Structures are given as C-alpha cells and as structure tokens.
Structure 1
Amino acid sequence: MESISVFEIIKVGIGPSSSHTMGPWNAASNFLQRVQDRQPISEVKEVYVEFFGSLAKTGVGHGTDIAGMLGLSGEDFKLIDTSRIDEKIAQIKNSGQLNLAGRHVIPFIYGEHLILNKQKSLEFHPNGMIFRAVFNDGQEFEQDYYSVGGGFIATKEESSYEKHCVRTLYPCHHGRDVIANIQKLGLTKISDLIYLNEESWRSREETDAEALYIWQQIKECIYKGVNKEGILPGGLNVSRRAAGLNRKLLGEKIYRNIDEWFQLVVETEETFTNINKWVSCFALAVNEENASFGRIITAPTNGASGVIPAVLMYAQAFTEFTSNDDIIRFLLVAGEIGTLFKKNATISAAMGGCQAEVGVSSAMAAAGLTEIMGGTPGQVLMAAEIAMEHHLGMTCDPIAGLVQIPCIERNSMGAIKAITAANIAIESDPAKARVTLDEVIQSMWETAQSMSDRFKETSEGGLAIAVNVAEC
C-alpha cells in the first residue's frame, strides 16, 4: 500500500461537493487529456457525458452537470472566477455550443450531450460517469470514471490519487503504524513523523508554506462567509446565517478587513456560550460558501469542509496555541488521520454516508487540536477515535440533493464534537481505552457496507423524503 500526502486530503476546492462537483470536474479534465493523446482537439466532432447513480440523482443540486460542462471547457476550479460560473453555464445552454478545452467550439445540447441517468448505476462505484468523444473521421473514444470521494477519481484500471502516492520512509497505513514508527524513531509528536514522510513529496520549508497557504485560504473563506447575506442557490430558500450570527456577536463594532475582524473575534468575551456560537459561526460561514459554489478547503470533502476550519479558527482565537508552528502541526496531523480513513474505509458519502464525511472530518480536527494542545501520540489517536465513534451510522440524506440541509448545520456539530473529543482525550489515559482508532475505522467501514443505499447521498431516504419539498 502506497502513502498519500496530507495535502491530497486537505486542499483547495470548490463547492458544493468534492464527490459530485470536484470529482466530475477532474474527470472531465482528465478525459480531455486522454482525447488529446489520440487526436487533436480540433478533430473532435461531438462529446457526450452521462452521469449515473448518486451523481445523477443529486447531480443538479450538487452542480455535477455544471462541473462536467466547465471541466470540458478547460476551466480549472482552483482558478476560475466563481462569480462568473452562472454566466458561463448560461452561455453553453443558450448557444447550444461548448468551447472544448477552451479552443474548439462544438455542438452541445443539454439533455442530449449531457444526461443524468437516474435509473442506472455502474457496478464499480455509485458515483459513475462515462465520457465519449466522436471524431471527424468517425472514430470514437469512451472512458468510464468514478468519483470516489474528496475529489479523487478512478477508472476500473487506475485511481487518480495513485499518481500522487509514493512509498515513504516510515509508512503509516494504520494507527498502530503511527505509534510503532514514533517509538522506533524516539519521537514525541505525530507531526514530527509526518514531517519526515512529507519529505517524500517536498522539502520541510515547502510543507510549511503549503500548510500556511491552506490556513490563509481558510481565513479568507470564513471572512467571505461571515460577510455575505441572502438566500443560498438551489431552490430550498435557505437563508445564510453566519453573517447574522457574526453581527450579533460583534455588536456595533466595525472592521475594514480580515485582520481587524479577527482581532475583534479574539477580543470577544470568552464565555462558553460565545465561544460555542463562534465555532458554529465559523463552520456555517464555510459551508454557506461551499453551498454557493465558493472556493473552499476540501478537508477531506466539501460537504465536511467547515469542520477543520472551525476548529482551527477556534484554536487561533480562543486558545494559547496560536503560532504558525501550531497551525502547521494541526493541519499535518489532521491530514494524516484523513489518509487512514481514505486507505482503510472511505471518505465518500455515496459509499459510507455522512459518517464518511463529517465523521472523518471531526476525527481529523480532534486529532489536530489534541496535537497542538500537547497531547501524546496515543491521546491524539484517541481523540480521533472518540470523534468518529460518535458519528458512526450517520446517514447522508440531503433534502433536494443540495449540500444545505442537514449538511451545513452538521459541520457545526462536527466541530463541537471534535473539540469535545480533544478535551476528553487530553485528560485520558490511552492505555486504558477499550476501542482503538483502527477498530473504529474498521467499524465505520462495516457500517458503511451495511447501510442502505437510500442513505448514501441519493436523496431517497431520511430527511430527503420526510420533508415535502418540490424537486429543485
């Protein structure tokens, strides 16, 4: 088994879904590359894309169709001006044309060249799709793809994350490997071990820079979210709440930029209620940005993108662990915990329900927080275990297929659970724990396999059908 960099688990993304937006977008981009390996883009006559299973059933709500069209247009979700997405999609639909790879205009009729097949699922994975190119000489090229969580894609033959996998000096595929390597090397912190393994991809200086870049993106996302009012797109008429909560917590205080705003947050009276509300505000801000095609940090997925930012911002605003070193070590440990779930279970709600998204993110955040609070390696893993233990069995049943209800609030709850798990672990003796992180990961995977497909991001069960909402 190869190792995965923490920055493949925590990375820049775009809302509203890593599996349903980023995955199809990456698949479309990969398909363009494969097409060009066969014939020039100018020789393509038509392109077809069909989405199956969970991708089709909740595709419109998650922007799967939008991702497919923009990916085929050669757009990069890390760079695109998110305020122009609606304009670009309207141009494709109204003109009946798509500028393939940004340089070759072809006919493209929505509903004919792009199909959401809700009646069929591909066998390999619930998030399946097939792209097909027809060339001027009559030849065709077809490729299947599967969005397997966190923006990663796979075909039947290969997985995208394998391109980024290497064999590290001290492989950590399970929690027990982490402890064994720490003891072998005589280390006291999990983050020191991760630093050593990340050198397989980049220098320590580059690792620090990437982590601090991620932190800057987190701050900017939260700041955007606490300063936007209005209704989220999609038809559910869900109001943004982070801005209102931010305003109530700050009162009449005025700020002109992110630094002034953060200083006011730090100066807030540190009552339990205020801190609790701020944690919720941070998480809501991120996930409201995610729900409106904003740029966010995928950690490990978009549906759970508010948990780690909320907990890290909590640590920066309301604890003594505020140095750049603390930020870096938090993210390194959080990312490493995410790799354990990725390799031994799943981070895809279509495979495992929301326990695979908010549950994993909560475990990651709990571990990161425990690390910078001075927890032992055993306490760090214990915190992750506690957080996941209390998310086991959580279903993914978004109303109308939108990453809004119950997804946005779940991130607030996941963040609070992460902080609680860290506080419990830091006061506990891991040697007396009856459940290990490896055991809870195994239990989570067994639960995922036993869970009905109705509760795996299909919007066919739970809240999705209990609430009477017209299809959006």
Structure 2
Amino acid sequence: MFLSIFDIFKIGIGPSSSHTMGPMVAAARFLDELRSLNAREPLGEGLRLGASLHGSLAFTGRGHATDRAVILGLMGFLPATIDPDKAEEKEAQLRREGVITLPGLPPLAFAPDTDLVFDYGPALPGHANGLILQARDADGALLISRTYYSIGGGFVVSAEELEAQRAGDDASPGETATRVPYPFRSAVEMLAMGSNSGLSIAEMKRANERIAHGEALDDKLDAIWAAMDGCIERGLRQDGILPGGLSVRRRASGIHRQLLAEQGRNLEQPHIINDWISIYAMAVNEENAAGGRVVTSPTNGAAGVVPAVIRYYRDHCRGASHEGIRDFLLVAAAIGGIIKYNASISGAEVGCQGEVGSASAMAAAGLCAALGGSNEQVENAAEIALEHHLGMTCDPARGLVQVPCIERNGLGAIKAVTAASLALRGDGKHFMPLDNCIETMRQTGIDMNLKYKETSTGGLAVNLPEC
C-alpha cells in the first residue's frame, strides 16, 4: 500500500477538504469528461449543466461553501491554484450572465440559484458526501450524468471507482500501483518492516516517497511546511469576525499579543505552553474558517493540529532541526495513511474522531519521531492520541467549521504533545495496539448516529444560544 505524503498533505482552501476541496475537484473531473466527449463528437450549442448535493454535502453544504466550490469547479478553478480575487470576480459574472465559457467546450448554461440543488433526502448509497453532475442538450435530453463521492481529505471517487474499490479491483484514492520497498498497510506491518530492515519509520517512508518524487522530495516537504507555517503566521496577524453568521471572533492574534507581552515579565504560569500550542492550531483553523489557504492534515477541519505541533517542536523544543521537521511530516503521513486505509478520515463517515483524532495521532507520532523516539514509541504515541479521541462527534454549529472545530484543534494538538511525551517515557510496550484502536474507531463510526456525523442535526449544532 502506498499513499503518498502529498495526498495526505494537500495545499488547498478552506473551509473544508471534504465539502469544499473535494466537490471542486469533482466538478473539474466532470469538465474533463465533457471535454473528452466534445473532442470525439462536438456537443453542439445550448448545453445546460446541473448539480445536486446529497447527504452531508446538502445538510452542511451552505456553511461549508459546497455550493460555491461546485460553481468554481465548473468554472475551471482548482483548490491548489485558485486565485480568490479572480474566483470572486468570475462567480459574480456567472451569476449575472448564467453562462460558463471554457477552452475546449461550447458555452455552458448554468444558473447557480436554480441549477444547483440541495437534496435533503436520503444520502446516496456510496458515501455520506455525494454529488451528481449532469449535462443536458438544448432539448433537455441527458447527455452525461456522473456521481462523485468526496470521501474526506479532498479525496474524490466516482461511483464506479468506489464500487471497484469495494470489490477489491482498484486502489484506494491516492494509493498508486507504484512498487515501493516498504508497502506497509498496518502498524504491525510497519513495525515488522522496520525491525527487519533496521530502519526508522521516517527512513522507510522516505524510501517509499523517493520512488515517486526522487531528489525533489525534500523541496516538496519544505513547501508543505512553508504553507503550514505561512497559514499560522497569517492567522496570528488577523483580527475580526469570521464569516457565516455565528459572529465568532478570531482569538488567536489577541492571545498571541498577550503571550508576547508576558514574556520576560515573570508573569508566565507553568501551563502557558498549552496556550502557545493552542494559538498555533487556532490560527490555522480561523484561516480555514475564513476560506484561506491551508494544508489538509489530513483534512481541513483538522488542519491546525499537525502544524501547531510542528511549530511547538521548532520554537519550543531543545534540539529541533529542519531535518526533524521533514521526519515529522514523513512519519505523520505514514500514520495518516494507515488510518485512512483501515478506517476513515471523514467526519461525515466516522465523526470527528476520524478528523481531529487522526490528526492528533499523526502529530503525536511525528513529534515522537522528531524527538528521537523508536519505532515502537512512535506507534505507541499515535495510539495514545487516537484512543483518547474515540467516539468524538462531528456536530458543527450551523454547518460552519468554527464551533467546536477551532478550539478542538487546539486541544487535539495538546493531546498529541502529551501522547508523544508519555510514549517517550516508556519503552514502546503497551496494552492496546494502534491497529486495534484504528479498528475501534471504524466500528464506532459505523455505530454512530447519523446526526453526529457532519449533518449539523445533533449535539452542539442544535444546542445553540437563543440570543
């Protein structure tokens, strides 16, 4: 099994990897199919596009900007390269004119207010995050209809691809057929391969990644960290109210100013390090909530945990190094890949245990490795962090990735640091294996009531202040 680090860590935009980035990617894929059809036989004039959102994409789509993501995707934008200013201008033009003009296609009629439908009925059969995209000719006859599922972390599969995967005939999204030297699918396999080879988890993951990325690997790792750190810095500078109607105020920058003012004045409490870790995470998730540029880690809703713990490592840990940051990312991605392969990183599928829980496990493992932990200690760190997120629901207020998501990332980062520290105090031997913990998360997600899986129909989402 080979899921690249650059599939786990993808640069994109907020507020959601599954509800914003994924639908945008699905729309772009649909355009590619239309272009292929048009190249074989011209489709003619008078084409009209249609889109419908189902399951969690419908229930929380407005708060997650899913409708806007589909619109922009159908206009040719992609998460990794989108220019927000240009996107806003083009969207306004579409709403005025109702026509999309793109290279390789005839004009496409699309009126967002009528041609994009939020379907609040039963979810589509493949996954909680489903969308259907269609094109009809001038007479209204259906030319093409495609069903896509956004399965978490920005990963997208068609209905046909999902069926093939479940039948065992295809690789998971992001997983390639590339032959790598250490194709571990589980923590048990990872530890066994490490023991047999004498290599660390970071060294094995690096060897795997070099097959695909060669000598460019380090530059690409540095680019991922630069995007994460840049997001923290932007979040620490911004004040004001987050969009969406909840009137949630950005807090990371204000707390940051307080912490800076207290330095050198003997005002610091011993637990102040938790405040630093929290604001790093909150800064990222406030940027995400505002639709800013973030890195899936492994999702947007959990995007603050890994960057926060890396920033903690770099700025607060003795012996921190640039190479340590690279190892951190490699190990975190290795753990994230195992979790995604054996369970899920989708809040709509297993609740927030799959998002912040997975991110915390990844960050704990990465920090443990960067601080010199053995393979066994790294596995233990990941298990501790994940175990103490089991059962966590995904119940965002009004479908916005703000309450409880922003603070939850701060606490996930703190748990990750604690888990790594506990693991480093031991010898790697522990009662509950990581693989068993991952399987528990999968089973818990199956049993979890739908209202607690990113539908905003239960939990904190329905217990809001009356004012």
State the TM-score, normalized to the length of structure 2. Answer: 0.92
Q: Is the 8 A contact 1:354 1:394 kept in 2?
A: yes
> Which of 240, 250, 254 is 2:250 aligned to?
240
Aligned in 2, Cα 1:62/1:321: closer, same or farther, shift over 3 Å?
Answer: farther
Shift of 1:268: 11
Q: Does 1:179 align with 2:191?
A: yes
Say if 1:139 and 1:109 are closer, same or farther in 2 by CA, change over 3 A.
closer
Residue in 1 that maps onto 2:456: 459
Q: Structure 2: how far apart are the matches of 1:388 and 1:21?
A: 25
Q: Secondary structure at the match of 2:62?
A: helix
Mark the CA change 1:17 to 1:46 in structure 2 (over 3 Å): closer, same or farther.
same
AA aligned opposite 2:109: P
Name the SS for the 1:272 alignment partner: coil
CA contact (8 A) 1:52 1:118 kept: yes
Between 1:288-297 and 1:102-111, the stretch displaced more is 102-111
- Is the 8 Å Cα contact of residues 82 and 293 (structure 1) preserved in structure 2? no
After superposition, give the CA deviation of every residue in 1:2-25 in whole Å (9 maximum; x if it has no partner).
321122101212100011001101
Aligned pairs for 1:37-436 within 5 A? 37-40=36-39, 43=44, 45-100=47-102, 105-136=107-138, 138=141, 140-158=143-161, 161-162=173-174, 164-187=176-199, 189-203=200-214, 205-251=215-261, 272-431=270-429, 433-436=430-433
Go from structure 1 to structure 2 and tell me whether the alpha carbon gap of 1:235 and 1:181 turns closer, same or farther (over 3 Å shift). same
Q: Relative to 1, partners in 2 of residues 1:238 and 1:268: Cα closer, same or farther, differing over 3 Å? A: farther
TM-score (norm 1): 0.91
TM-aligned CA deviation for residue 469 of structure 1 = 6.5
Residues 1:439 and 2:436 aligned together = yes
Letter of the aligned partner of 2:408 in structure 1?
A: R
Q: Is the 8 A contact 1:321 1:372 kept in 2?
A: no
Q: Which whole-Å CA distance do the structure 2 matches of 1:228 and 1:148 have between them? A: 31
Aligned to 1:34: 33
* CA displacement at 1:162 relative to structure 2: 4.7
* Letter matched to residue 35 of structure 1: L
Q: What SS does structure 2 have at the residue aligned with 1:442?
A: helix
Shift of 1:95: 3.2
Judging changes above 3 Å, is the alpha-carbon distance between structure 1 residues 62 and 139 closer, same or farther for their aligned structure 2 residues?
closer
Residue segments in structure 1 that go unaligned for 5+ positions in a row: 253-264
Name the CA distance, whole Å, in 1 between partners of 2:229 and 2:405.
21
1:34 deviates by 1.0
Comparing 439-448 with 2-11, which one deviates more in the overlay? Answer: 2-11
Judged with a 3 Å threshold, the aligned counterparts in structure 2 of structure 1 residues 429 and 83 are, in CA distance, closer, same or farther, namely: same
* Deviation for aligned residue 1:90: 3.1
One-letter amino acid matched to 1:109: A
Q: Which moved more, 1:135-144 or 1:303-312?
A: 135-144
* More divergent stretch after superposition (265-274 vs 139-148): 265-274
1:81 is displaced (CA, Å) by 2.1
Further displaced range: 43-52 or 453-462? 43-52
CA distance in 1 between counterparts of 2:393 and 2:67 reads 24
> Does the 8 Å contact 1:72/1:100 carry over to 2?
no
Contact preservation (8 Å) 1:9, 1:335: yes
1:116 Cα deviation (Å)?
0.9
Cα deviation code 1:350-371 (max 9, x no counterpart): 0000000000000000000000
Cα shift readout 1:110-131 (whole Å, capped 9, x = no counterpart): 2321111112310111101100
Percent identity (aligned) = 45
The 1-side partners of 2:265 and 2:220 are apart by 29
Contact map agreement 1:400 1:469 (CA 8 A) in 2: no
Partner of 1:256: none
Q: Which runs of 5+ in 2 are unaligned?
A: 163-171
Question: Equivalences for 1:6-45 in 2 at 5 Å?
Answer: 6-40=5-39, 43=44, 45=47
Distance change >3 Å, CA 221–CA 162, structure 1 → 2? closer
Q: 1:192 to 1:466 in 2, by over 3 A?
A: same
Secondary structure of the equivalent of 1:111? Answer: helix
Encode CA deviations 1:135-182: one digit per residue, 9 max, x unaligned.
458561110000001000112221572564533222110001111111
CA contact (8 A) 2:391 2:444 kept: yes
Distance 1:378 1:458, change over 3 A: same
Question: Matched residue pairs, number?
Answer: 454
Secondary structure of the equivalent of 2:238? coil
Amino acid at match of 1:98: I
Letter paired with 2:146: Q
Report the Cα distance in structure 2 between the residues aligned to 1:163 and 1:447, rounded to whole angstroms.
25
Structure 2 CA distance for partners of 1:282 and 1:102, relative to 1, 3 Å: farther
Q: Deviations over 1:333-358 (max 9, x none)?
A: 00110000110000000000000000
- Aligned-partner Cα distance in 2 for 1:65–1:150: 18
Which amino acid in the other structure matches residue 330 of structure 2?
L
1:294-338 Cα offsets, whole Å, 9 max, x none, are 010111000000000000000000012432210100000001100
Letter in 1 for 2:211: S
| Aligned equivalents of 2:204, 2:70: Cα separation in 1 | 39
User: Given the superposition, is the C-alpha separation of residues 234 and 384 from structure 1 closer, same or farther in structure 2, using an over 3 Å criterion?
Assistant: same
Cα distance in 1 for residues equivalent to 2:276 and 2:128: 36
Q: Aligned partners of 1:48 and 1:370: how far apart in 2?
A: 48
